[in-house]
Amino acid sequence: MIETRLADGTLVMARPLGLADRSQLAEGYRRLSPESRYQRFWVRTGGVIGDKMLDRMLAGSVEEHGLWAVLDPARDFQGLGAASFWRSNEDGEDAEFSCTVLDEDQRRGVGTLLLAVLWLVAYRQGIRRFTGYTMPENSSAIRWMRDTGAEAEWDGYKVIFRWDLANLDKLPASNAGIALAERLAELAEELLDGDSAS
């Protein structure tokens, strides 16, 4: 578990989610706006997450899959956002990355904190690239992914982003890029060498 502060001073925790977090994860999904839910999960099925989706998100070994949340312990419902990676079956150095922050907590640095945590957790497992997908109309996610150093490609249907996890020198001098570099420096020792990554 990681303890840190957001830029506004709020004390937050980041930790991996497990089977005991099933109802919290379902509640976080319910609290997302329909637009954010659609942007992350690509479905317009209302606020109830399916059992199969929950099973899939909460399963998987540490080597293949990471699912972390950022929590505010001072709140009734503590979840602010969650992100995951899945190692590719075809290329063991590549993993699919996705991230969701509750609407009222977006633009507070939570997404960038989650990206930094998963970046280091995945790197420790030998993953060297993250691939993320967005819809072309999701301009805030597109901007955030570019600003955190991902290269964009358009396949005629969705925008594909790739972060090179090995090359920290390529991070842009945007607000989010600088925040990411600071988070990676802050968390590297604990997540690359310590026990917090599992």
Ligand X SMILES: CC(C)(COP(=O)(O)OP(=O)(O)OC[C@H]1O[C@@H](n2cnc3c(N)ncnc32)[C@H](O)[C@@H]1OP(=O)(O)O)[C@@H](O)C(=O)NCCC(=O)NCCS
Cβ proximity to ligand X: between 112 and 196 the closer is 112
Cβ proximity to ligand X: between 131 and 196 the closer is 131
Nearest residue by C-beta to ligand X?
111
Cβ proximity to ligand X: between 123 and 130 the closer is 130
Cβ proximity to ligand X: between 179 and 197 the closer is 179
> How would DSSP label each residue in the chain?
-EEEE-TT--EEEEEE--GGGHHHHHHHHHHS-HHHHHHHH-----SPPPHHHHHHHH-S-TTTEEEEEEE-TTSSS-EEEEEEEEE-SS-TTEEEEEEEE-GGGTTSSHHHHHHHHHHHHHHHTT--EEEEEE-TT-HHHHHHHHHTTPEEEE-SSSEEEEEETT-GGG--SSHHHHHHHHHHHHHHIIIIISSTT-
C-beta of 182: minimal distance to ligand X in Å?
Answer: 11
Residue 27 to residue 24: CA distance in whole angstroms: 5
Note the residues at the interface with ligand X (CB under 6 A): 7-8, 36, 39-40, 98-101, 106-112, 132, 134, 138, 140-141, 143-144, 147, 174-176, 179
C-beta of 195: minimal distance to ligand X in Å?
Answer: 26
C-beta of 81: minimal distance to ligand X in Å?
Answer: 6
C-beta of 32: minimal distance to ligand X in Å?
Answer: 8
Cβ proximity to ligand X: between 8 and 155 the closer is 8
